[in-house]
Amino acid sequence: MLAVISFPSFLSPNLIEWGPITIKWYGLAYAGGLVFAALYMKRLVCNPALWGTWKPTMTPAQIDDMFVWFFIGVVGGGRLGYVLLYQPMKYLADPISIFKVWDGGMSFHGGFLGVVLASYFYGRKVGATLDRMLDLGAASVPVGLGLGRLANFVNGELYGGPTNLPWGVIFPGETFARHPSQIYEALLEGVLLFIAVRIGTHRYQALAHPGRASGIFALGYGLSRIAAEFVRLPDSFIGYYFGFITQGMIYSLPLVAVGIWLLWRSRHT
């Protein structure tokens, strides 16, 4: 069965264009993901049943304070990660363009490292270990990841290779259908990963075993991203290694390893 779905003509990367003011869906995805994360973390720390014999990692007031740290970690790390991991020579030739985040170019792996650093330094401030800080983030960030992938779809970017599947999408400027890999990733990294970590926290008391929730997240994201990379096209300036391996796969393998280690370690905490 041939794919016949055309990209919706009413979708635009910009939600609002009013004179010099432009509000982009991608920016809203980041903002919405961070706000959801803060609100969800507050619900988690206000539920003593999830923590076993442990005291919740933070208070709701501390989560409000941490919001700024996480914002800097996500945006700063995501941007620097893209610059260093994907196009270092381009930005070395024009360093000012590093700050033009509105032109696109963010890396999940860089944003992840940014959040790890923000969690480490803020955790030291409030007396919380890194694994317990990351557990809270792991439980709450998948929604933001899913929103980001939906924004990628609206932008008509990061799509997959050609397909004849009935849900293939003909993106703007194309004459044939492609895998909507952004939707695949929204489902895998957003919906399914959120459900997996929530089952861990609410049914198996993952928050009572430091590192378990973040282990589920790291392993789940790494495997999801590697799976999606088999149909998602790599950036044209990078291409494939050995004809099928992408940089996204390479950067996700350490997450899989870390996730397995955290899960093993959490058995003894």
Tens of pLDDT, residue by residue over 187-207, are 999 999 999 999 999 999 999
Closest CA to 216 of 165, 141, 157, 104: 141
Give the per-residue pLDDT at 40: 97
C-alpha 185/C-alpha 5 separation (Å) is 19
Give the pLDDT score at 97. 82
Residue 7 confidence (pLDDT): 84
Of the listed ranges 37-41, 154-158, 180-184, the least confidently predicted one is 154-158
Both structure tokens of 256: 């899989």
Which pLDDT value is given to residue 230?
A: 96
Q: Residue 1 pLDDT more than 50?
A: no
Predicted pLDDT at 104: 67
Mean pLDDT of the chain: 90
pTM here is: 0.89
Assess whether pLDDT exceeds 80 at residue 9. no
Residue 56 has pLDDT above 70, yes or no: yes
Cβ pair 174, 159 in contact under 8 A: no
Question: Is residue 145's pLDDT more than 80?
Answer: yes
Residue-level pLDDT at 107 = 85
Output the pLDDT for position 268: 83
Position with higher pLDDT, 53 vs 11 = 53
- pLDDT of residue 87 exceeding 50, the answer is yes
pLDDT at 238: 82
The region of weakest confidence among 90-94, 186-190, 262-266 is 90-94
Residue 3 has pLDDT above 50, yes or no: no
**Euclidean distance between CA atoms 266 and 269, whole angstroms:** 5
pLDDT band at 35; cut points 50, 70, 90: very high
Phi-psi region of 124 (alpha: psi -120 to 50; beta: other; left: phi over 0): alpha
Q: What is the pLDDT of residue 171?
A: 94
